[in-house]
A = this chain, B = another copy of it.
Amino acid sequence: MPRRVALIAGGTTHKWGVYPGTLRDIVSEAAKACFDSNPRVNSRDIQGFIFCSVFPERSAYQSHTAPWAAESAGVAPDRIFCRVENMCGSGTVGIRTAYTAIAAGLADLVMVLGAEKMFIPNRQEIVLNMLTGVDREWEGSTGLTAPVQFALAAQAHMNKYGTTEEHLAMVSSKNHRNASRNPYAQFPKPCTVEEVLASKPVATPFKIFDCSSITDGGAAVILATEELAKDLTDNPVYILGTCQAASGFNHANIPDDWADWVILSQAAQTAYNMAGIKPQDVDVAEVHDCFSASEIIEYEALGFCPQGEGGNFVATGGSDYGGQVVVNPRGGLIGCGHPLGATGVAQAIEIFRQLRNEAGERQVANAKIGLNHNLSGIAEHHVVIYGRQEVL
């Protein structure tokens, strides 16, 4: 059996949005916030360091960023270090990489740090950087950017299941409301369904409030073996199950009906099986709402509600406080912003805090099992399921 692995610390940069410094500064601040969250961890004991960042080559003119960022984080790992890049899902891929290293016995204590500096002086260059994430030759060049891809999925879902623009706006309104209780959120101002519907059009059916944003930000967590975790914290949060899957890259090759993310259902099922739980056991979930419609499709693919019922699920409060599963209590990508490599790590920190009963006014009552879903386009999904000690 692989060794059990737990989260034991986590912290983010203080306020996401336009960061008044370099990528290096973001790395340092995120690492400090993480160490500050658990004074029992000594930075000299960190044996591994995984850096999650999508385009430091373009935003900081720097590749070879694992040791570069480790140095800025104040750690000197002697077992494993690696930079991972899976576009919007890089943070969760980093956590999985640390998980496997610890589970396989190569290291005992590993920091995962995600950071992105997306705001750069040249506005045109920001768009070009985002375009590196889609198929450059076939999609970027023809305008099939991320908002358009997800808008097409939204239209497919509306057409197939009768999902409405109001349903989408309900997701946005819920996540903005949750973000209003999150100190680091980029967009902490609540907004009504009517305000979402009246906001500026982006790509039909999305209005600007249906979309996540360009964001600077950083987040870091520390993972440990079960034995070390028990030494270093009174409330470890364990990884119970995880999976990743992709059904293609170029959207012309993706076999799925875009209204049903079959590949996510498969990945989630593998993760549920590994964790030995069912979707109904999940108390709190951080899911990838890069656009409002994504969250609705994810309710279904993750098994929180039947196929086609995602719109009704949000409309009846199934994903809100008091509902079946509280989804995106930190405010999601729509409320917090989406600094690519940092997002998955920050999602994990929210689950960590919720399962430790440390989420303050965002706390989900009696949360024991949390699920994190992070994606990299409609055809590439990453799932990690976490649990408190008592559910092992």
A residues with CB within 8 A of B: 1-2, 24, 54-55, 57-58, 60-68, 70-71, 76-87, 93, 96-97, 99-101, 103-106, 131-137, 140, 242-250, 253, 263, 266-267, 270, 376-377, 379-380
Counted per complex, copies of this chain come to: 2
A136 touches B61 (CB 8 A): yes
Cα–Cα, bound, A306→B72 (Å): 35
A63 touches B87 (CB 8 A): yes
A67 touches B248 (CB 8 A): yes
List 14 extra interface pairs beyond A1-B105, A100-B106, CB under 8 A.
Answer: A24-B137, A61-B132, A61-B136, A62-B132, A67-B248, A67-B376, A77-B244, A78-B246, A82-B84, A82-B86, A83-B84, A99-B104, A100-B103, A100-B104
Given A104-B100, A250-B71, A245 contacting B79 (CB threshold 8 A): yes
Given A61-B136, A85-B85, A99-B104, A67 contacting B2 (CB threshold 8 A): no
A58 touches B60 (CB 8 A): no
Taking the closest CB of chain B, its distance from the CB of A351, in whole angstroms, is 19
B105 touches A87 (CB 8 A): no
- Chain B residue with the shortest CB-CB distance to A246: B67
Taking the closest CB of chain B, its distance from the CB of A289, in whole angstroms, is 19
A78 touches B266 (CB 8 A): yes
**A and B contact pairs by CB, cutoff 8 A, 10 listed:** A54-B64, A60-B136, A61-B131, A67-B376, A76-B248, A78-B266, A83-B85, A96-B106, A100-B104, A106-B242
Cα–Cα, bound, A55→B83 (Å): 12
Of B58, B63, B81, B97, the contact of A246 (CB 8 Å cutoff): B81
Taking the closest CB of chain B, its distance from the CB of A321, in whole angstroms, is 33
Given A80-B244, A97-B82, A100-B100, A62 contacting B136 (CB threshold 8 A): yes
Taking the closest CB of chain B, its distance from the CB of A45, in whole angstroms, is 15
B79 touches A244 (CB 8 A): yes
Cα–Cα, bound, A81→B244 (Å): 7
Of B57, B79, B136, the contact of A243 (CB 8 Å cutoff): B79
